[in-house]
Amino acid sequence: MDQVVYADLNLPRDSGPESSSPSSLPRDVCQGSPWHQFALKLGCAGIILLALVVTGLSVSVTSLIRKSSIEKCSVDIQQNMSKTTERLSLLNCPISWKKVGEKCLLLSDTVNPWNNSLADCSTKESRLLLIQDKEELRLTQKLIHDKAIPFWIGLKFSLPEKKWKWINDSFLNSDQ
């Protein structure tokens, strides 16, 4: 005769293929493989590095733009003459200043906005360049032509009058 064996199998209710849910999965399953974790970390590091490079380049470009804006001061030789009868042609400009007509010009390496350049010229007992006539403009252009650098002059746009105004409060006359 064949023997029959009976057995009771008691399984917990949440274990079985039909009851699998995300809450019953092991924690490691949601985090992905170690390769995916590494790739994610490497991608994040790359994005941070890219942001730092872009920021550094922006600062460098801004610095170069500011350096290209060179201030220019001028001193009227007549203004600074100490009541002497010497001829203008005998006067020498200070060291590093260039004589242009009856003025001494300083092409400074200091990088400043227009207002700061105006103040800096004042500390040097000078002022931003006031171009009086076409001859002075021609001589100044000749001086700066070889250097090919931008610079500030003593001219600004006056909003109330809607005209260009020199720092001595006279208006630009483009006919001279």
Number of Cβ atoms within 10 Å of the Cβ of 104: 21
CB 167 within 8 A of CB 118: yes
Average pLDDT of every residue of the chain: 74
* In a domain? residue 44: no
How far, in Å, are 29, 39, 47, 137 from residue 42 at the CA level? 21, 5, 9, 59
**pLDDT confidence of residue 68:** 46
CB 75 within 8 A of CB 104: yes
pLDDT class for 50, splitting at 50, 70, 90? very high
* In a domain? residue 106: yes
Structure-token match 């700061």, residue found: 116
* In a domain? residue 115: yes
How far, in Å, are 117, 119, 172 from residue 122 at the CA level? 9, 5, 22
Q: Quick one: average pLDDT of 98-120?
A: 82
Domain CATH code at residue 110: 3.10.100.10
pTM of this structure: 0.47
> Which residue range(s) make up the domain with 120?
96-166
CB 97 within 8 A of CB 76: no
**pLDDT confidence of residue 82:** 43
Count of domains observed in the chain: 1
Residue 83 or residue 120, greater confidence: 120
State how far the Cα of 174 lies from the Cα of 164, in Å rounded to an integer. 10
* In a domain? residue 71: no
* In a domain? residue 152: yes
The answer, yes or no, to whether residue 94 has pLDDT greater than 70, is yes
Q: Quick one: average pLDDT of 114-143?
A: 85
* In a domain? residue 154: yes
